[in-house]
Amino acid sequence: MVPFIRAYPPNRPTGSVHVWYVFRGEDMVVEVNHGTQPLAGTPHGPNAITTSEQFVLGTQGNLSVYAAVVPADCELSEGLQTVHLRTLMNQQGVTPDVIMAASYAKQLVEFRTLTRFCTRCGAPYRSIPNNWGYRCDPCAFEIFPPVSPAIIVLIYSGDRVLLTTKVGWGDRYSLVAGFTEPGENFESCVAREVREEVGVEVQNIRYVGSQCWPFPHQVMVGFLAEYKSGEIVMDAEELADARWFERDAMPLTPPPTAISGQILDIWLKRQTETGMIIGFDRVLT
């Protein structure tokens, strides 16, 4: 993947081709015939649509990349449609660089839309040059786009995994997940979330990889953890079901575009040697 070089305001991108990630509410605007790509445009805006706010994201190879917002009641011209970013991330043919830039754009759109006035004194913010932060001049308070870390963990025991589902997920099962709390490192968060959601204890907690998850501003930090002890005691307020699944009898699980699906894929394709699990050194991208 071509490196993405961020261009913080007031800097400008340097690519010769201009693309726009345009959001209407939670949805991204795309062409009907190119539903996995950003809109083409010029340095002044995307083609075929008028935006209410726009800003620079950066450069990727020969691409100058921008983000923009249109009002929620904006009527799209013929040939354009909207797609929820979560849906876009699961579509066939969407590339990692598009997912990365779209996630970046959505999180900045969210931050810029909601961050207008100082949360301490109520005065208007002004932009801080060369980053995405804002500063309140009267009280000197500064604020920056939030990133909320959350863990997601595959619990395994031999040839079985402990998976969970929630109301509204249908037949799909996934991994235990939850936000980190103040004063907590990731490994402690893994042990606590597992204990709280499914009632078991784990050991041999190992980091696998991470993924930006812009719903609205998370980074999912993926782990594997070996079952240690305890019977399943499900948190009925959080989950609809939790159970063990054998490796050769797996339920419907998340797609490989989600970190949960990637971790499951690593586990399913693992090798074993004298009871020791190996092959978990792959880094997710």
Per-residue model confidence as pLDDT tens digits over 41-91: 999 999 989 998 999 999 999 999 999 999 988 889 899 999 999 999 888
Alpha-carbon distance 211 to 218, whole Å?
9
Q: Are 88 and 42 in contact (CB under 8 A)?
A: no
Instruction: Report pLDDT for 269.
Output: 86
**Three-state secondary structure string covering the chain:** CCCEEECCCCCCCCCCEEEEEEEECCEEEEECCECCCCEEEECCEECCCCCCEEEEEEEECCEEEEEEECCCCCCCCCCEEEEEHHHHHCCCCCCHHHHHHHHHHHHHHHHHHHCCECCCCCCECEECCCCCCEECCCCCCEECCCCEEEEEEEEEECCEEEEEECCCCCCECECEEEECCCCCCHHHHHHHHHHHHHCCEEEEEEEEEEEEECCCCEEEEEEEEEEEECCCCCCCCCCCEEEEEECCCCCECCCCCCHHHHHHHHHHCCEEECCEEECCCCCCC
Alpha-carbon distance 189 to 115, whole Å?
29
Instruction: Report pLDDT for 273.
Output: 35
For every one of its 285 residues, what pLDDT tens digit does the chain have, with 9 covering 90 and above?
Answer: 689 999 998 899 999 999 999 999 889 999 999 889 999 999 999 998 999 899 999 999 999 999 999 998 888 989 999 999 999 988 888 898 999 999 999 999 999 989 999 999 999 999 999 999 999 999 999 999 999 999 999 999 999 999 999 999 999 999 999 999 999 999 999 999 999 999 999 999 999 999 999 998 999 999 999 999 999 999 999 999 999 999 999 999 999 889 999 999 999 987 333 344 444 444 343
Instruction: Report pLDDT for 282.
Output: 40
Instruction: Report pLDDT for 92.
Output: 81
Unique residue bearing structure tokens 């996934």: 174
Unique residue bearing structure tokens 């209410």: 52
Instruction: Report pLDDT for 93.
Output: 84
β-pair type (126-127, 218-229): unpaired
Instruction: Report pLDDT for 281.
Output: 44
Alpha-carbon distance 194 to 176, whole Å?
7
Instruction: Report pLDDT for 274.
Output: 32
pTM of the model: 0.87
